[in-house]
Amino acid sequence: TDVLIIGGGLAGCMAAIKAAEDRDLRITLVDKSNTMASGCAASGIDHIWSYIPPIHEKMGYTIEDMAEDHRQGIAYGLFRKDLFCLVAGTMYERILDLEKFGINFRYDDSKVPGKFRIVSQFHSVPTSFNFDGKPLKVKLTHEAKKRGVQIIHRVQMTDLIVTGGQVSGAVGVGTRTGDIYFFKAKAVVLSTGRSNRLSRNPSGVDFNTRLPSPLSGDGTAMAIRAKLPIINIEFLSSRLLAPCGNYNPNYGDPRNTVQPAARIVDGYGNVIVPRT
């Protein structure tokens, strides 16, 4: 294949879709599960933050302002500004892509320009879209296949192949057949998710139960064994627990990321986190 994408979550599917815009390239996506329902967005997602030009430019809020918000309030100063600006500066375009794929971002009851539903989450001004993301993985799989992407399910990739100091492919094993898969590729994209389940959460109950079980660090391990530089590992997931002590909610950061926001109630009916 020309481009091999390892990991078929939201990032992997979008990488395949964008790579396939060049019709002369052969794109192969390999997922250890099934792209119809895999990764962090397996059961859908209801929000995504972005720098929103038609809204934030009128407010006088710049990407520089957003970057500083992020650095101080979220990243504890451990911050790659160039990477942040790349993501923040292109996210709105990706949201419009998702809208073209059939994901609903606009609501008749909205008072915001564009009929978007924008809520506060991480930054000093509202930056997060709420949207109807339940069918997200189904839509992304459909769009990838429509563009000719070859998708191979149920293959656990184990190692990158390095030839002459360059990554030249990868190897994996079929999780239901035991078959060995060898891929030769001109470029390899690792989109294998975060390594969030490698340590216990502060409650001590389980290994980060809020996050999907596949986030086991296999992609990070592949990269380390291939002697690739690893970035963004310094970010701390424990920050997400701060608003509600040591209780680990199973739907994300409980700061108005769902619409309407929910409560967290324990088995005795006590409200641990009120509706916000």
- Which SS3 state, helix, strand or coil, does residue 145 take? helix
Q: Specify the pLDDT at position 36.
A: 96
Section 212-224 average pLDDT: 83
More confident of the two residues 212 and 187: 187
pTM for the model: 0.82
More confident of the two residues 99 and 121: 99
* Mean pLDDT of the chain, nearest integer: 84
Q: Specify the pLDDT at position 201.
A: 52
- Which SS3 state, helix, strand or coil, does residue 154 take? coil
Q: Specify the pLDDT at position 204.
A: 56
Q: Specify the pLDDT at position 78.
A: 77
Q: Specify the pLDDT at position 265.
A: 73
More confident of the two residues 189 and 263: 189
Q: Specify the pLDDT at position 246.
A: 35
Q: Which of 45, 67, 41 is nearest to 56 (CA)?
A: 67
Report percent pLDDT > 90 for the chain: 61
Q: Specify the pLDDT at position 74.
A: 79
- How confident is the model over 55-70, as pLDDT tens digits? 999 999 999 999 999 9
E strands, the chain, in order: 3-6, 27-30, 47-49, 118-119, 128-130, 150-152, 155-163, 166-174, 180-184, 187-190, 264-265, 271-273
pLDDT at 238 > cutoff 50? no
